Amino acid sequence: MTSERLVIVGGDAAGMSAASQARRTKGPQELEITAFERGRFSSYSACGIPYWVAGDVSGRDRLIARSPEEHRARGIDLRMRTEVTELDVAGRRVRWRALETGEEGWTGYDKLVLATGARPVRPPLPGIDAPGVHGVQTLGDGQALLDALSQEPGRRAVVVGAGYIGVEMAEALLRRGYAVTVVNSGEQPMATLDPDMGRLVHEAMTAMGITVVGGTEVTEVLTDG
């Protein structure tokens, strides 16, 4: 009996949850599972990065739910640092490239799952790519931020945006000894909440010592002042 082939593009939470569920449904003799992840980590909690920065999480590995080796032990061919560069829908195959070696190839599939996630909004502002400007989405981002904080501890930090991650990062930076200002285009933090609840969040942040500037858009990033 010929086994089916499942290909998953993206090896973080969604992709590997799909892979694990598929493996629980069918064993290796019935279903071949190949997953491609261009990053260095699989199955990790991006939502936990602010708590890692704050020191509540003792280390990066505590945010990883399952390592690539653990996935492979369950019969999932997880290929790290491998980017899918082309989909051949008619031929039911994907083209991939190993980022470390440059090796390229095609892998066929019967079923395909795209779990690549999304890119964070990074507005095209002057200075947005300057040194000292950090995004927080991946474990690599978190490590880069921690490395930068360890080099210049206890200064000033500005957080642009007051959604869940912005609020959590503001608290994390405050706990690391930074004077923190949050700049938000909305009048109150946490736009997903009702305005009265957002006002309570605002008041709590202010009571902690975080400066919250609402109804304000960032137009430029200057890093030489």
pLDDT for 151-174, tens place per residue?
876 689 999 999 999 999 999 999
pLDDT for 55-67, tens place per residue?
999 899 999 999 9
pLDDT, averaged in runs of 10, over the chain (225 residues):
88 94 94 96 92 93 93 96 97 97 97 90 87 89 92 85 94 94 94 93 96 94 77
Out of 40, 47, 103, 132, pick the active-site residue. 47
Do the two domains 4-114 and 139-213 of this chain adopt the same fold? yes
Structural domain boundaries in the chain:
4-114, 139-213
pLDDT for 177-192, tens place per residue?
999 999 999 999 999 9
Q: What CATH superfamily is the domain 139-213? A: FAD/NAD(P)-binding domain (3.50.50.60)
CA distance 189 to 212: 8
Q: What is the pTM of this model?
A: 0.82
Top CATH class, 4-114:
alpha beta
47 an active-site residue? yes
> Per DSSP, which regions of 38-128 are E strands?
76-80, 82-88, 93-98, 104-108, 111-114
